Structure 1
Amino acid sequence: MRNFLIAGNWKMNCGISATTELLNGIKEITTSLPKGVDGLVCPPSISLHAAANVLQGIEGLSLGAQNVHFEDNGAYTGEISTQMLNEIGCEYVILGHSERREYFGETDKIVNAKVLKSLDDDLKIVICVGESLKERKADEHKLRVRKQIQAALTAVEEKDAAKVVIAYEPIWAIGTGETATPDQAQEMHKMIRSVLEGVFSQKKAEKIRILYGGSMKPHNAEELLQQPDVDGGLIGGASLKADSFTEIIDIADQLSS
C-alpha cells in the first residue's frame, strides 16, 4: 500500500564535483528505481543545482533540500526560500532534523512555520522527530515524539497529508553506530501512526510514510524494513556511497515484491 522511500541526507558533505561524481556512480548502477521503491537525495544547498542536472537521468530518484526558511525573501543572510527550491527542482525538504534543533536552536514553533510554508508552496516535507538517550532512559521518549509531531503539524490541513513524511530518528543512534532494535523501531513507528490518526483521519494516516533515521545501513536495513510500520529510511553515512545506497534500495525492492 505504501511505497518504500529510501532517502539520503548528505548533511554537510559533497560539494558540486563530489555530488556529480556520487550521482553518476548511482546512475552507473541503476537508471530507474524499482516500482515499489521511491528514492530521494538531499545534498547541501550549494550542490542542489548540479544534482538536479544529473538526476534527470535517474527515474524515480527525487531531489530534496536539507532546510528552508519560512519567509519568501528578505534580510535573512545565508537562508534559502521555498521559491528558490521550487526553481531548482526540489520536490522535498527535510524539516526539524535533530541537528538543526540542537545546533541552530530550531524550536517546535519554527519547525511548524517551515512546515506550513513548505506545504503552501507545494513542497513535500520530511519532518524529523526523535528522543535523546536521556529521554528514553527516563521513559519520556513517546511523550517527546508525540509532542514534536503535534507541534509540527499544527494548522496543517487534511488535504496536505499526502505531502507529509515523518522520519523517526532516535538521537542516540545518529552517527554513533548504535541502532534501535527492529522491535524498538516498530514500537515507535506504530505509536507515531496512532498520533497521525489523531491529527488526520485514520485513512490518511495509513498512507503516510514513516522512515527510520538512526544509522540504517545495508547490514541492518532488511530487518528494519520488514517491520509493518517502517516505510523506508532517512539514510546518513550509507547514502554517501553509491553502492551502499543502492544496496538499501535493492533490499527495499526485494521486500516490496
Structure 2
Amino acid sequence: MSRILIVGCGHLGSAIGIRLAAQGHGVWGMRRDPSKLPMNLNPVEGDVTIPNTLRRIPDVDLVLYLVRPDRDDEATLSGTLTRGPRYLVEAFRAKGLRPKRFFVGSSVSVFGDRGGEWVDEDSEPKPRDAMAVALHAGERLLREAEAPVTVLRYGEVYGPDRPGLRDALRRGAGVFPNPTAHANLIHIRDAVEATLHLLTRKRLEPLYLMVDRKPAPRLEVLAWLAEHHGAQLPAVDGAVAAPYDVRAMSERLVESGFRFQYPTYREGYRRLR
C-alpha cells in the first residue's frame, strides 16, 4: 500500500481520496481549510500559492495535484496552476523528501482551437484562454524542475452533483457558444477510477488524456439531452467562439488496461436524473 497526498480536495480529489482510503492506502488531503476534508483523509493545511504554508507536507510516495482556482483573474490562475505545482516540488525537496511521482491534473483545453481535429498525447498544445495558458505553463515548469511527473489532462467532468451541460440546459442558461465545437467529456466515476488505475501502475507515460471514447459536437450533446430530459434546446451562437475545439483521444489510457464504465456521454447522462 502507498502513502498518497492529494493537493486540492474538491469534488474529484475528495472522491479519489475516499476510494484510496477504502483500498487501504494512507491518504492525506491538503486544503486551505482542512475542516472540509472527508473524515477518512488525514488533514494537511496549506496554500500552494504561499510557499511557507507548505512546511507540513508529509513523507509520501505519490502526490496528486488537483488544485483549481476559485477566481479567474491572472494572479490567481498563475499562482494556483503555474507556480503552485513548482512550489510544492520545492517544498518536498527543502525537507529532503522525494516522492516517487507527482501526478498533476490539467485539461484538454490546452490544445486550443484546432477546428475539431483529433489530438493525442503527442499533439502540440496551443492554449488560447487564460486558464489553459496557466495550466500549460504549470506543466512546463514541472518538467523543467526534473521531478518525476505524469500529467493528467482531463476533459469536462460531469455526473451527480457536478454542474454541466445537463444542468445548464435545465436552467435555460443563456446562449451556448459555437455549437459545432466538440465536447470532450468524462463521467466523474470514470475520472475517479481512471486516476486510481494510473496511481497504482508501476509503468507510466508522462502524459494521459482523461476523456471518454466519443467526443461529440456540443449541439449533438445538447439535442440528445433536451430529448431525453424533457428540456428545450437552447439558443446557440456560432459567432461566439468556444474556448477550445478538439477531439481528444484516450487510446493511451485504454492501452494501459483501463476500461470505461461510461464510454460515451449517452451512457453517462442516461443514468442521471
Normalised TM-score (structure 2) = 0.37
Higher helix share: 1
Higher strand share: 2
Normalised TM-score (structure 1) = 0.39
Which of the pair has the greater relative contact order for Cα pairs under 8 Å at 6+ separation?
1
| Structure with greater Cα Rg | 2
